[in-house]
Chain A
Amino acid sequence: MEEINNSLSVVSDRLRNSEVFFNVPDENLLAIAEFCHEEVYQDGQIIFVEGEPASDLLVVKRGKLAIEKKIQLGRHSTPRNATIAYVNPNQVAGFSAIAKPHLHSGTITALEPTRVCAIDGVKLREYLDSHPDVGYIVIRAITSLVRGRYQAATNTLTYFLSIVSHELRTPLAAVENYLRTMLGGFAGDLNQKQERMLNRCVIRVTDLSGLISDVVDLARMRPEQIQADFEWFDPGEVGRESIEDTRLAAAEKNVKIRIKPPDKFEPIVGSRRRMRQVFTNLLNNAIKFSPPDTSVDFSAWYEEDQLIFEVEDRGPGIPPEDLQYIFTDFFRASNVGDSPGAGLGLSIAKKIMDAHNGNIIGINLTDDGGKIIGSRFSVHIPRNLNTPEMRRNEWASKESNQD
């Protein structure tokens, strides 16, 4: 009996030193120690797999564990594992054992021979339920742990994306650089045939690098990321910049951009950079599908609670059966023919507008006989959006009113 009590107190000492249990009173630690057992893992051993039921909470005594998350770019790529955190002595892994739905949120691997104290999750939950004061202490510690893990996972994902993007774009940049050097005549004279082929190479390579940027962009595009960029800006200026972005494409087809701005542009809150992306995407689409020598109308006006931008072209329109899918990732309408593109421009624009609590609408224009004579995309930006600073101030004033 003496021996058992001794070993229980050793375990409870171990628990007291851990990041989750250090504030828990001794008598409770002794009780929790009753449903702990020791486990030893070999170097490289996989302990938990992401998505599997979580049974034990692990307190590391010696060694080191790595928490990995499965990361998959797009639906069809091979998933990869990225390490989001390391678990060192006195730190805890497997919090899913006490957090619903009790499925592991990451894969855990031993990086060196590791000894842990494993606490039975079901018994621990029962104990915390019947001792809410202890439950509160433990859950508070777990919450801050989870917050840290979430932050680490987000950072890893962003880092991972920037690496992937760089890895993919670097060789392409080198190829395009050479092509443009040759086309510029910096490596000697070219005959007409060579020039035509090199020009085609540039177009194909540019499309591919645009596609890579779009895919990476789409994966990064979370509403809270876009909203963190909200600021006051002059929408007229952003409109002018997007016209500048697309001027070359318009000139190549002799498409004229007709501008109908409001009398005066009022500043508005939103993500300046992302809004430019929306306008540029819409203008580029309109130009891409415009017959040569036609015009694209780009207009803007204010309504009481929103600012509306509209882009109208004289192209073939969108087949009616495709209309409902045009904002879907990688969707391309059935009549796009040889026009380049990955089908991401509109879905990116939609995600940006969603983050603005706004709207983007695409319709066909028809003549009196019902024949399609073009398409019109309108963007609705609410005029009551807040910058992060405004949100903080609003929150602070609410807090002080409550005091």
Chain B
Amino acid sequence: MLEQPSILIVDDDPDILDGILMILESRNYRLRTARDGVQCLEQLAEEVPDLLILDLLMPRMDGWGVIRKVRNDSRYAKMPIMILTTVIEDASRRRYELETGHTMDIQAYTEKPAKPVELLGQVEKLLQWKK
């Protein structure tokens, strides 16, 4: 890939952010971070990344709120979303469906803690993803 792919990582836990950054820094990515949903939307408005890695339970605006906003905004139609969370997948999908009446339009769901090699593999795969 000629261009350096950009990734926005959103998590309210500084230790998780630190660890994920350390893993992703081993590759040629341009990394940005946000600590909650509101910050995430601000960062997205500045520049659309090639991948959004998103935690769910966060202060101010949670990850479900971010998905709802982003998936109703054509600017982000081609941006893949990878959920990285301690919330169990089916509980979280059900909650989203109950709140919105839609299925959660995300491209990967990883429960924390992610194994570094698997995380890198998944990130590579999602960077190839285009709607």
Binding between chains A and B: yes
Q: How many A-B residue pairs have CB under 8 A?
A: 52
Residues of B within 8 A of A184 (CB): 23, 116-117
Residue-wise, chain A 351-386 has the 8 Å CB interface mask toward B (1 for contact) of 000000000000000000000000000000000000
| Additional pairs, 12, CB under 8 Å, beyond known A166-B57, A177-B15 | A162-B91, A165-B86, A166-B86, A173-B16, A174-B13, A177-B19, A178-B19, A180-B115, A181-B22, A186-B22, A186-B26, A186-B116
A186 touches B113 (CB 8 A): no
Residues of B within 8 A of A166 (CB): 57, 86-87
How many interface residues does chain A have, given as a range?
Answer: 10 to 19
Please indicate which of the listed interface residues B20, B90, B112 has the most CB atoms of chain A within 10 Å of its own CB: B112
Does A170 reach chain B (CB closer than 8 Å)? Answer: yes
Complex Cα gap A165–B113 (Å): 14
B15 touches A174 (CB 8 A): yes
Chain A to chain B contacts (Cβ below 8 Å), 28 pairs: A162-B87, A162-B91, A166-B87, A169-B86, A170-B13, A173-B16, A173-B86, A173-B112, A173-B113, A174-B15, A174-B19, A174-B113, A176-B112, A177-B15, A177-B16, A177-B19, A177-B20, A178-B15, A180-B113, A181-B19, A181-B23, A184-B116, A184-B117, A186-B22, A186-B25, A186-B116, A213-B88, A273-B90
Complex Cα gap A245–B93 (Å): 21
Complex Cα gap A178–B87 (Å): 19
Complex Cα gap A273–B26 (Å): 36
Residues of A within 8 A of B20 (CB): 177
Does A219 reach chain B (CB closer than 8 Å)? Answer: no
Complex Cα gap A172–B25 (Å): 23
Known A186-B22, A186-B23; judge A177-B113 contact (CB<8 A).
yes
A177 touches B86 (CB 8 A): no
Does A46 reach chain B (CB closer than 8 Å)? Answer: no
Does B114 reach chain A (CB closer than 8 Å)? Answer: yes
Residue-wise, chain B 1-37 has the 8 Å CB interface mask toward A (1 for contact) of 0000000000001011011101101100000000000
Residues of B within 8 A of A152 (CB): none
Task: State the majority secondary structure of interface residues on A.
Answer: helix
Residues of A within 8 A of B115 (CB): 180
Q: Which residues of A contact B (CB under 8 A)?
A: 162, 165-166, 169-170, 172-174, 176-178, 180-181, 184, 186-187, 213, 273
B57 touches A180 (CB 8 A): no
- A249, chain B: closest CB distance, angstroms: 15
Residues of B within 8 A of A186 (CB): 22-23, 25-26, 116
Residues of A within 8 A of B117 (CB): 184
Residues of A within 8 A of B23 (CB): 181, 184, 186
Residues of B within 8 A of A213 (CB): 88
B22 touches A176 (CB 8 A): no
Residues of A within 8 A of B57 (CB): 166
- A218, chain B: closest CB distance, angstroms: 14
Residue-wise, chain B 40-83 has the 8 Å CB interface mask toward A (1 for contact) of 00000000000000000100000000000000000000000000
Residues of A within 8 A of B26 (CB): 186
- B97, chain A: closest CB distance, angstroms: 14
Return the 8 tightest CB-CB contacts between A and B, nearest first: A173-B112, A176-B113, A174-B15, A177-B19, A184-B116, A169-B86, A177-B113, A173-B113
Residues of B within 8 A of A169 (CB): 86, 112
- B106, chain A: closest CB distance, angstroms: 19
- A156, chain B: closest CB distance, angstroms: 15
Residues of B within 8 A of A177 (CB): 15-16, 19-20, 112-114
The chain B residue with its CB closest to the CB of A178 is B19
Please indicate which of the listed interface residues A172, A177, A178, A273 has the most CB atoms of chain B within 10 Å of its own CB: A177
Complex Cα gap A401–B26 (Å): 69
Please indicate which of the listed interface residues B25, B113, B114 has the most CB atoms of chain A within 10 Å of its own CB: B113
A181 touches B116 (CB 8 A): yes
Residue-wise, chain B 84-113 has the 8 Å CB interface mask toward A (1 for contact) of 001110110000000000000000000011
- A274, chain B: closest CB distance, angstroms: 11
- A198, chain B: closest CB distance, angstroms: 13
- B71, chain A: closest CB distance, angstroms: 23
- B123, chain A: closest CB distance, angstroms: 14
Complex Cα gap A162–B62 (Å): 15
Complex Cα gap A173–B112 (Å): 6
The chain B residue with its CB closest to the CB of A168 is B86
The chain B residue with its CB closest to the CB of A205 is B113
A187 touches B22 (CB 8 A): yes
- B20, chain A: closest CB distance, angstroms: 7
Contact of B16 among A162, A174, A187 (CB under 8 A): A174
Complex Cα gap A177–B15 (Å): 8
Residues of B within 8 A of A178 (CB): 15, 18-19
Residues of A within 8 A of B88 (CB): 213
Complex Cα gap A174–B84 (Å): 12
The chain B residue with its CB closest to the CB of A158 is B91
- A287, chain B: closest CB distance, angstroms: 20
